[in-house]
């Protein structure tokens, strides 16, 4: 009974070169696949050894690969109902392996690869002479244990039924167990490699997260510095605004005083004009029934010059 393969987390993915060589070897060694017990298994071991994939691909995986290729080839060569595949699906013209599989299935690849010989477990996994001798003794011991178990299970009362097991059957049972152990080791090793790759991937992701966190911290520090600079600029602007408000208030006060002085100047100028007119006409104004003294022409000239200078000063302000 063939042992089931253990689940493989990250199985070996055959390259295009591996697949092409597998097709050629399978087609060239059709004679090894006789259909007898374990013949296919031993033949696939020989193919795997020729490909150099021991420890990475099991005989079950190689057989499954071949069956999938044959199934795909038949689906594309003989589509159901005579209808071709819908647009976007794989066709015989677009499938990478259709031509090679067609050559193999029609027998034109019989000489495209080396012809292999049937291999036993010892050929697949060679041992030293001392280990072979130890294995032979272990086979004999297991054969005796199998015979004793079958005889004890079949015995009823005083009768016991002798059951003879041929050497080839014992070897087959031993080979099945050895293959199961080998495939389990391959599965465990592949799973270990997959876990290692996952750990390396997680470590890379953690390193990337740490770099992103450091970059965010730097950006945050830069934002904090910019915020502090903005606050300082805002404080300076408020200070300048307050100073401008004070200067505006002082300017408004000065402007009010200037307007007041200008109004007084206008009144003085009007009085000076009246005095000039009085002097020119030789008349004397009377205020409250009191005669005003006649004004001196020179004094009026000085007063007029003073008002003119004062007006210029006001205009400059």
The answer to whether residue 109 sits within a structural domain is yes
The answer to whether residue 28 sits within a structural domain is yes
Containing structural domain, residue 28: 1-126
Instruction: Please check whether residue 54 is in contact with residue 48, taking contact to mean a CB–CB distance below 8 angstroms.
Output: yes
The answer to whether residue 193 sits within a structural domain is no
What separation, in Å, do the N-terminal and C-terminal C-alpha atoms of the chain show? 118
* Rounded distance between C-alpha atoms, residue 315 and residue 312, angstroms: 5
Grade residue 169 by pLDDT with cuts at 50, 70 and 90.
very low
- Provide the number of structural domains found in the chain: 1
The answer to whether residue 231 sits within a structural domain is no
pLDDT in tens, 81-131: 655 555 557 788 889 999 999 999 998 998 888 888 865 544 444 433 444
The answer to whether residue 302 sits within a structural domain is no
* Rounded distance between C-alpha atoms, residue 169 and residue 204, angstroms: 52
* Rounded distance between C-alpha atoms, residue 220 and residue 214, angstroms: 10
Instruction: Please check whether residue 154 is in contact with residue 161, taking contact to mean a CB–CB distance below 8 angstroms.
Output: yes
pLDDT value at residue 83: 53
The answer to whether residue 140 sits within a structural domain is no
* Rounded distance between C-alpha atoms, residue 312 and residue 317, angstroms: 9
pLDDT in tens, 227-279: 999 999 999 999 999 999 999 999 888 888 888 888 888 888 888 788 777 77
The arithmetic mean of pLDDT across residues 293-309, rounded, is 71
Q: Residue 7: pLDDT above 70?
A: no
The answer to whether residue 201 sits within a structural domain is no
Residue 294 to residues 86, 217, 282, 285, 286: CA-CA distances in angstroms?
Answer: 128, 93, 8, 9, 11
The answer to whether residue 75 sits within a structural domain is yes
């Amino acid at each position: 009974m063939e042992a089931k393969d253990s689940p493989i987390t990250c199985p070996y993915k055959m390259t295009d070169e591996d697949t092409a060589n597998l097709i050629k070897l399978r087609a060239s060694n059709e004679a090894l696949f006789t259909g007898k017990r374990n013949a296919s298994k031993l033949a696939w071991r020989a193919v795997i050894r020729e490909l150099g994939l021991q420890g990475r691909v099991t005989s079950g995986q190689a057989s499954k690969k071949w069956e999938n290729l044959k199934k795909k080839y038949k689906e594309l060569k003989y589509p159901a109902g005579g209808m071709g595949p819908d647009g976007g699906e794989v066709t015989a013209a677009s499938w990478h392996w259709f031509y090679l599989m067609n050559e193999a299935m029609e027998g034109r690849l019989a000489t495209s690869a080396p012809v292999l010989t049937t291999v036993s477990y010892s050929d697949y996994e060679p041992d030293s002479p001392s280990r072979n001798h130890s294995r032979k003794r272990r086979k004999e011991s297991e054969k005796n244990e199998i015979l004793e178990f079958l005889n004890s299970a079949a015995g009823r009362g005083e009768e016991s039924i002798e059951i003879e097991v041929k050497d080839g059957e014992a070897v087959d049972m031993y080979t099945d167990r050895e293959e199961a152990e080998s495939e389990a080791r391959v599965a465990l090793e592949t799973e270990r490699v997959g876990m290692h790759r996952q750990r390396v991937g997680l470590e890379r992701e953690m390193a990337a997260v740490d770099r992103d966190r450091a970059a965010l911290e730097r950006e945050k520090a830069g934002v904090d510095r910019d915020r502090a600079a903005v606050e300082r600029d805002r404080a300076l602007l408020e200070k300048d605004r307050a100073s401008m408000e004070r200067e505006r208030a002082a300017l408004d006060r000065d402007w009010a005083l200037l307007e007041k002085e200008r109004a007084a100047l206008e009144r003085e100028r009007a009085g000076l004009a009246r005095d000039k007119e009085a002097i020119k006409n030789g008349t004397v104004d009377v205020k409250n029934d009191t005669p005003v003294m006649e004004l001196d022409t020179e004094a009026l000239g000085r007063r007029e010059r003073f008002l003119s200078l004062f007006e210029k000063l006001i205009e400059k302000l």
